[in-house]
Structure 1
Amino acid sequence: MSTIPVAKLPVPDLPGLLAFVRVAELGSFVRAADALGLSKAAVSKQVSALERRLGTQLLHRTTRRLSLTEAGQAYLRHAQAAFAEARAAEDAVAGTHGLAQGRLRVSAPMSFGVLHIAPWLGAFLARHPQVDVDLQLDDREHDLVQGSFDLAIRLGRLQSSSLVARTLAHSRVLLCAAPGYLDRVGRPARPDELGVHDCLHFSLAAVGRTWQFTRGDEVVRIALGARLEANSSLVLKAAAIAGAGIVRVPEFAVARELHEGLLEPVMPDWVMPGLDVHAVIPERRYVPAKVRVFSEFLQACWQPQPDWLSPRT
């Protein structure tokens, strides 16, 4: 029997492909090297070798910034799609035996991650010894696919309909201030009295500088200036404790300080819109066991009531 010769297909440069994707997504050879556990020189060498192999330039390099060429933009789209398909294949195999294993890359808001995810990680790792966790904390929302995240913890209203969400818990949003500040400036009883106070503002808040209050059937919206603005609720909490003013903050960030008397609720009979805590994943055919067990674990940690609820006396 004669055999039909099979043409040899070029083997993809997978290390170069991965290095290029990380550099393009993170915008830096240094950050890509840290993510890959390699030296900057090794990553640069891999990307250069990939460009030579393809016969085209993928990145514009200057001393100050990196940007994608037109060819690089097209190549990145195909590379990310290839990685997504590879991950789906792994998820399909892992799902057949339900074993939680592999590296779990998680994105979460900074203050929430520090206060209410990090303390539980030891127990999770002990329960699932074949799972490694890479937790990235940032109050800005990242694209899960481009950032190669398996799961993200997000607070409040979800902006993207392309995500699969699971609600894990709920947190009230409160106004609070240091007792010394309120003794000095006064304790407002109504939202329209906040104008004479120093207000502390979270600059990444989806609601902007308009604070909404409800009491019974009465709804009041107040647009306020801010003596202090920051992109971290931990910074604003520290400033409020020091007497800088009144802060609008999720209860999960100040429960301990309220219980210890370092902060005092302001206008507690007026309710502000709260925040749901969601675990979100990209739409995919198979949900890996490592993702499922992590979201279930966190939900169990915060049931029947979240650990940030202020202790009742």
Structure 2
Amino acid sequence: MKGDVKNIYRSMLDNLSALRAFVAVVESGSFSEAGYRLNVMPSTISKHVSFLEEKIHGQLIVRSTKHLSVSELGRRFYDRCLIILKEVEETEAEMLEYQMEPQGKLRITVGPSFAGYHLPRLIPSFLERYPKISLDFRVTPELVDLIDHSIDVAIRISSNLEPGLIAVKLAPNIRSVCVSPAYVEKFGMPAEPRDLENHNCLLTNEASSTAKWRLLQDGVENVVHVSGNLVVNHGDIYKQAILDGVGIGHLSRYLVYQEINDGRLIELFPDRGVVNSFIYVVYPQRRNLPLKTRVFIDHLRDAFRGTPEWMA
């Protein structure tokens, strides 16, 4: 029986005029008023309702010489009609939007390190391509609730995303252990990951002066316990401290690959980096994703397609 009902509702999609006529009768209370609303003759409205009653084998409208009333079946059918017509309306709007130029304000949240490195090369080309879209960035290390703050999309670097979000993976986030030539000249070069325990290792987002760095050893992920005299949660300060020879750092490779390539930093154990998180673009679950959001996500996917330059 349930399958038959589903088939009936599917067939109703081919008879939207009949559904709209029935809804108009229920909401207006008469065939003549429904006809006036839809700009058709009352007799046409009556035929639509009769057609539906024949389809579902039941009476939707109880007719009398003085007034109309909606049957219990009619009330239930009316509720279903509203759902169907709303879905049709949303689909039509989505199809129309596909044919229109993307526009409107796009609200985005992103972490400071990603914003500082990637956004300068991503924003100009996007705005040039979509001049009617305006970008509103909220750059913060905090995980902003997208729904509570009316955020359209977020760029996250994570190994464990919040539930309820749709995620598009952009690239792996491999971390590098790196050091300046000045530090090596003064304190020597660690030969093995375990040697890091005897060096000044700079830390981020730690509650104490010790941390665990994960590195590969013979294909197996090992934990190295490190410590140091500097703990800082600001990416630029952390990176500059490494460049200045304060200590050894452990951070996303995209932040330091240029300095590694030009010799200002030395990458330690380059084949032992662990990918324990990924770069994602995420957005709240919704039936119809706005075109402005879709084109921004596509822009990011194009920018990160293939092997990222920091991993080449």
TM-score normalised over the length of structure 2: 0.65
Matched residue, 2:110? 108
- Work out the CA distance in 1 between the residues paired with 2:141 and 2:228: 20
- Work out the CA distance in 1 between the residues paired with 2:192 and 2:311: 24
Matched residue, 1:269? 271
Residues 1:138 and 1:95: Cα distance change in structure 2 (over 3 Å): farther
Matched residue, 2:296? 294
- Work out the CA distance in 2 between the residues paired with 1:151 and 1:109: 12
- Work out the CA distance in 2 between the residues paired with 1:154 and 1:272: 18
Matched residue, 1:178? 180
- Work out the CA distance in 1 between the residues paired with 2:303 and 2:117: 13
Matched residue, 2:283? 281
Residues 1:126 and 1:204: Cα distance change in structure 2 (over 3 Å): farther
Matched residue, 1:134? 136
> In the alignment, is the contact (CA less than 8 A) between 1:169 and 1:299 conserved in 2?
no
Stretches of structure 2 lacking an aligned partner (at least 5 in a row): 1-27, 30-88
Q: CA RMSD in A?
A: 2.5
Q: CA deviation at 1:237?
A: 0.8
Matched residue, 1:199? 201
- Work out the CA distance in 2 between the residues paired with 1:253 and 1:144: 26
> In the alignment, is the contact (CA less than 8 A) between 2:206 and 2:231 conserved in 1?
no
For the pair shown, which has the larger CA radius of gyration, 1 or 2?
Answer: 2
Q: Which runs of 4+ in 1 moved over 6 A?
A: 89-92
Spell out the pairing of 1:17-36 with structure 2 (5 A cutoff). Answer: none
Residues 1:155 and 1:103: Cα distance change in structure 2 (over 3 Å): same
Q: Which of 210, 213, 228 is residue 230 of structure 2 equivalent to? A: 228
Paired letter, 2:97: H
- Work out the CA distance in 2 between the residues paired with 1:239 and 1:90: 53
Is residue 219 from structure 1 mapped to residue 230 from structure 2 by the alignment? no
Q: CA deviation at 1:225?
A: 2.3
Residues 1:309 and 1:219: Cα distance change in structure 2 (over 3 Å): closer
Q: Which has the higher helix share?
A: 2
Q: CA deviation at 1:204?
A: 6.9
Paired letter, 2:287: R
- Work out the CA distance in 2 between the residues paired with 1:155 and 1:95: 33
Number of residue-to-residue matches in the alignment = 222
Q: Which of 157, 160, 164 is residue 159 of structure 2 equivalent to? A: 157
Stretches of structure 1 lacking an aligned partner (at least 5 in a row): 5-88
Residues 1:233 and 1:167: Cα distance change in structure 2 (over 3 Å): same
Spell out the pairing of 1:31-180 with structure 2 (5 A cutoff). Answer: 93=93, 96-98=96-98, 99=100, 100-180=102-182
- Work out the CA distance in 2 between the residues paired with 1:199 and 1:232: 16
- Work out the CA distance in 2 between the residues paired with 1:200 and 1:91: 53
- Work out the CA distance in 2 between the residues paired with 1:255 and 1:141: 26
Residues 1:126 and 1:114: Cα distance change in structure 2 (over 3 Å): same
Cα offsets for 1:240-260 (capped at 9, x unmatched): 000011110101111111111
- Work out the CA distance in 1 between the residues paired with 2:288 and 2:191: 52
Q: CA deviation at 1:90?
A: 9.2
Paired letter, 1:214: L
Q: CA deviation at 1:274?
A: 4.3
- Work out the CA distance in 2 between the residues paired with 1:293 and 1:231: 33
> In the alignment, is the contact (CA less than 8 A) between 1:110 and 1:139 conserved in 2?
yes
Paired letter, 2:294: R
Residues 1:111 and 1:217: Cα distance change in structure 2 (over 3 Å): closer
> In the alignment, is the contact (CA less than 8 A) between 2:105 and 2:133 conserved in 1?
yes
- Work out the CA distance in 2 between the residues paired with 1:190 and 1:110: 32
Residues 1:134 and 1:170: Cα distance change in structure 2 (over 3 Å): same
> In the alignment, is the contact (CA less than 8 A) between 1:91 and 1:288 conserved in 2?
no
- Work out the CA distance in 2 between the residues paired with 1:176 and 1:92: 54
Residues 1:113 and 1:156: Cα distance change in structure 2 (over 3 Å): same
- Work out the CA distance in 2 between the residues paired with 1:136 and 1:92: 32
Q: CA deviation at 1:132?
A: 0.4
Partner SS state of residue 292, structure 2: helix
- Work out the CA distance in 2 between the residues paired with 1:222 and 1:250: 17
Partner SS state of residue 281, structure 2: strand
Partner SS state of residue 305, structure 2: coil
Q: Which of 243, 246, 250 is residue 245 of structure 2 equivalent to? A: 243
Q: Percent identity?
A: 28
> In the alignment, is the contact (CA less than 8 A) between 1:103 and 1:131 conserved in 2?
yes
Residues 1:288 and 1:211: Cα distance change in structure 2 (over 3 Å): same
Residues 1:204 and 1:165: Cα distance change in structure 2 (over 3 Å): farther
Cα offsets for 1:71-122 (capped at 9, x unmatched): xxxxxxxxxxxxxxxxxx9998456322421100011111111111222211
Paired letter, 2:96: T
